[in-house]
Amino acid sequence: MSGGFIPYHLRPNKAVDRQLFVELLAKVNRFKPIGQYTYIGFGGSFLEDFKLIHTYFGNKKMISIEEDLNVLKRQKFNLPLRCITRRHEKSGDFIASYPIRGSAMIWLDYANPRQLRVQIEEYEALISKLQLHDIIRITLNASPDTLRGRDSVDEKEKRETADVRNAKRLKKLTDQLGDYLPQDTDATMMTVDELPQVYCRVLEFAANKALQGRSSEMVQPLSAFVYADSAHQMLTLTGIIIEKKEVTEFFRKTAIKRWRHASVDWKTFRVIRVPELTAREKLFIDRYLPSSKQKGIHKRLDFLFAEDEVTSLEILKSYTDYYRYYPSYHRVTY
C-alpha cells in the first residue's frame, strides 16, 4: 500500500518534496492553525513525515494506516511519538468508515501502479467525506514505463517504435481508468513529460465528481511536484477543500500564489530532480548560491551529474531551485 519497506528518508527528491509540503503547510497556517488538524498518512516503517509535521506544528492527533503486518511491527519499534495511533487497516477500509471529527489533513501516499483505478476511487471517496478546509494530498506512480516498458518488443520480437509503444500505453491506461481519463487524451501524452499532467486532470475529474451536490465548494490545488528517486517517476498533488467565495481571501492571507513552488491549477506541476551529492559537493555548490549562475557553478565542478552536459546542467539547475530543502545525511558513531 505505502511502499512500507522503502527508505524514503534516504531519498533526496522525496525528502525535498516532503520539506516543500511543510513549507506549504506553514503558509496555510496563516489561514487556519495546522497544529489543530489530525494528520493521517501511510507512515511506513520509519514515520518520517509524522516526525517532521509534529516538529513544525505540534499536532497531537496523528494516525498511520498500514496494511502490511510486518511493516506495522517495525513501525511499533520505530514509533517516535506517543501521539501517533497505528491502524492495521487497508486505506480503502479506513476511508469507507472515515472516523475523523474536526479538521484533517490526509496524505494518500500510493506506490503501486497496478492499483491506479482503486487509488483514484479512494481519492474521490475520501474527498466526498472531507469538510471545509481539510487538506488532501495524494502521491501516484506517474511513470509511463509501468504502462509499457521502453524495451518492449512486438509479436515478431522486434523492439517497438515509440509510437507503437505509446499507443499500447494509452490502451492500458484507458482500460484501467475508464471514464476518469479525459476524452482528449492521446498517445503522444504517454511520455515522462506529459503523463503527470494527464494524471492531474484525472484527479481534477475525481475531485469535481466527489463534490457534486456541494456546488459552493471546490478542491483548490496548492502544489504539484514530479520527482524520481529510482526508475519510477512519482506525482504528488496537494489541495484544500474550500468555499469558492473564500478563495480570494485564502490566497490573500496565505500568499501561496506568490510562492515560487505553488501550482494553483490542475495543469501545472513542478519537477524536482536534484542530484545525489556528497557532503563536500553540497558545500562546494552552496558557497556560490543563491546569486551565481548555474553554468558558472557547473564549469567549476569539472564533472557531470549525468551522461551528457545538457542533462547534467538541468539537474544542477533543479538543485539550485531546491537546495534549501535538500537533506543532509551524516554517519554517526555511537
166 in a structural domain: no
- Round to whole Å and give the CA distance between 263 and 286: 26
* 57 vs 26: CA distance, rounded Å: 8
Is residue 12 domain-shared with residue 91, that is, in the same domain? yes
- Residue 111 is assigned to a structural domain of this protein: yes
Indicate whether 239 and 313 sit together in one domain. Answer: no
**pLDDT bucket at 158, cuts 50 / 70 / 90:** confident
Instruction: Report phi then psi at 247, rounded to 5.
Output: -60, -45
The 10s digit of each residue's pLDDT in 235-282 is 999 999 999 999 999 999 999 999 999 999 999 999 999 999 999 999
Average pLDDT over residues 10-25: 93
Q: Is the pLDDT of residue 8 over 60?
A: no
CA 170, distance to chain mean position in Å, is 23
Considering its fold, how many domains does the chain have in total? 2
The answer to whether residues 98 and 135 belong to one domain is: yes
In a domain, 284, yes or no: yes
Please check whether residue 165 lies inside any domain of the structure.
no
28-45 confidence digits (pLDDT tens): 999 999 999 999 999 999
Instruction: Answer whether 272's CB lies under 8 Å from 227's CB.
Output: yes
Q: Looking at the predicted structure, is the pLDDT value of residue 4 above 70?
A: no
pLDDT band with cut points at 50, 70 and 90 for residue 150: confident
Query: Does residue 162 fall inside a structural domain?
Result: no
129 and 234, same domain (yes or no): yes
For residues 240 and 126, state if they share a domain: yes
Beta strands 234-243 and 217-227 are: antiparallel
Q: Are residues 49 and 196 in the same domain?
A: yes
Q: Is residue 160 part of a domain?
A: no
Does residue 19 fall inside a structural domain? yes
- Is 331's pLDDT higher than 80? no
* Cell of residue 35, nine digits: 497544529
SS (HEC) of the chain? CCCCCCCHHHCHHHHHHHHHHHHHHHHHCCCCCHHHCEEEECCCCCCHHHHHHHHHHCCCCEEEEECCHHHHHHHHHHCCCCCEEEEECCHHHHHHCCCCCCCEEEEEECCCHHHHHHHHHHHHHHHHHCCCCCEEEEEEECCHHHCCCCCCECCCCCECCHHHHHHHHHHHHHHHHHHHCCCCCCHHHCCCCCHHHHHHHHHHHHHHHHCCCCCCEEEEEEEEEEECCCCCCEEEEEEEEEEHHHHHHHHHHHCHHHCCCCCCCCCCCEEECCCCCCHHHHHHHHCCCCCCCHHHHHHHHCCCCCCCHHHHHHHHHHHHHHHHHCCCCCCCCC
CATH value at residue 220: 3.40.50.150
Q: Are residues 237 and 302 in the same domain?
A: no
Three cell numbers, residue 6: 522503502
46 DSSP β-pair partners? none
Q: Is the pLDDT of residue 20 over 70?
A: yes
Output the pTM of the full model.
0.93
- Find the mean pLDDT for residues 280-309: 94
Residue 332 has pLDDT above 60, yes or no: no
Shared-domain flag, residues 108 and 254: yes
Please calculate the CA angle 137-139-141 and round it to the nearest 5 degrees: 165
Domain that holds residue 294: 279-325
Cis peptide before 290 (omega within 30 of 0): yes
**31-80: per-residue pLDDT in tens?**
999 999 999 999 999 999 999 999 999 999 999 999 999 999 999 999 99
Partners of 221 in the beta sheet? 239
Asked whether the CA dihedral 299, 302, 304, 309 is positive or negative, the reply is positive
Cell of residue 153, nine digits? 518488443
Would residue 52 count as lying in a domain?
yes
Tell which wins on pLDDT, 113 or 6: 113
The pLDDT tens digits for 83-128 are 999 999 999 999 999 989 999 999 999 999 999 999 999 999 999 9
Does one domain contain both 197 and 315?
A: no
More confident residue, 11 or 269: 269
Statement to judge: residues 120 and 105 lie in one domain: yes
Banded pLDDT at 328 (limits 50, 70, 90): confident
Q: Are residues 196 and 321 in the same domain?
A: no
Reported as a pLDDT band with limits 50, 70 and 90, residue 3 is: low
| Boundary (domain end) residue, out of 257, 272, 287 | 272
Query: Max alpha carbon distance in the chain (Å)?
Result: 61
Average pLDDT, the chain: 94
**Helices 116-129, 195-210: crossing angle, 10 deg rounding:** 40
Percentage of the residues of the chain whose pLDDT score is greater than 90? 90
Same domain, 78 and 224: yes
In angstroms, the CA 145 to CA 153 distance is 13
